[in-house]
Amino acid sequence: MASTYTPLGVELQATGENAGTWGTKTNTNLQIIEQISGGYTTQAVSDSGDTTLSVSDGSTGATLSHRVIEFTGSLTASRNVTIPLDVQNFYFLKNATSGSQNVVFKYVTGTGTSATIANGKTVIAYAKADDVTNPGIDTISLTSDVVDDTTPQLGGNLDTNSFMIDFDDAHGVRDENGNEQLIFETTSSAVNHIDITNAATGAGAQIGAVGDDSNLNLRLRPKGTGVIEAMGGDNPGSIQLNCEQNSHGIKLTSPAHSASQSYELKFPTGNVTAGTFLKVDSITGSGTTAVGQLSFGTVSGISMGKAIAAAIVFG
DSSP string covering 110-173? SS---EEE-TT-EEEEEE---SSSS--EEEEE---SGGG-SS---SSPPP-TT------TTEEE
Q: How confident is the model at residue 150 (pLDDT cuts 50, 70, 90)?
A: confident
* Domain count across the chain: 2
Q: How confident is the model at residue 151 (pLDDT cuts 50, 70, 90)?
A: confident
Q: How do residues 61-92 score in pLDDT, each as one tens digit?
A: 999 999 999 999 999 999 999 999 999 999 99
Last residue in a domain, options 148, 163, 185:
148
Q: What range does the domain containing 120 cover?
A: 4-148
Q: Nearest CA to 28 among 62, 76, 79, 53?
A: 62
Q: How do residues 164-179 score in pLDDT, each as one tens digit?
A: 999 999 999 999 999 9
236 within domain boundaries: no
Is-contact 11 5, C-beta < 8 A?
yes
- Please check the confidence at residue 213 and state whether its pLDDT lies above 80: yes
Q: How many angstroms separate the CA atoms of 275 and 268, rounded? A: 13
Q: How confident is the model at residue 311 (pLDDT cuts 50, 70, 90)?
A: very low
* Rounded mean pLDDT, 94-102: 97
82 within domain boundaries: yes
pLDDT at 280: 61
Q: How many angstroms separate the CA atoms of 136 and 146, rounded? A: 27
58 within domain boundaries: yes
51 within domain boundaries: yes
> Looking at per-residue confidence, does 192 or 269 come out higher?
192
216 within domain boundaries: no
Three-class secondary structure of residue 202 per DSSP: coil
Q: Is 110 left (phi over 0), alpha (psi -120 to 50) or beta?
A: left
Say what the alpha-carbon torsion angle 183, 166, 159, 209 is, to the nearest 10 degrees.
-60
Say what the alpha-carbon torsion angle 295, 301, 307, 313 is, to the nearest 10 degrees.
-40
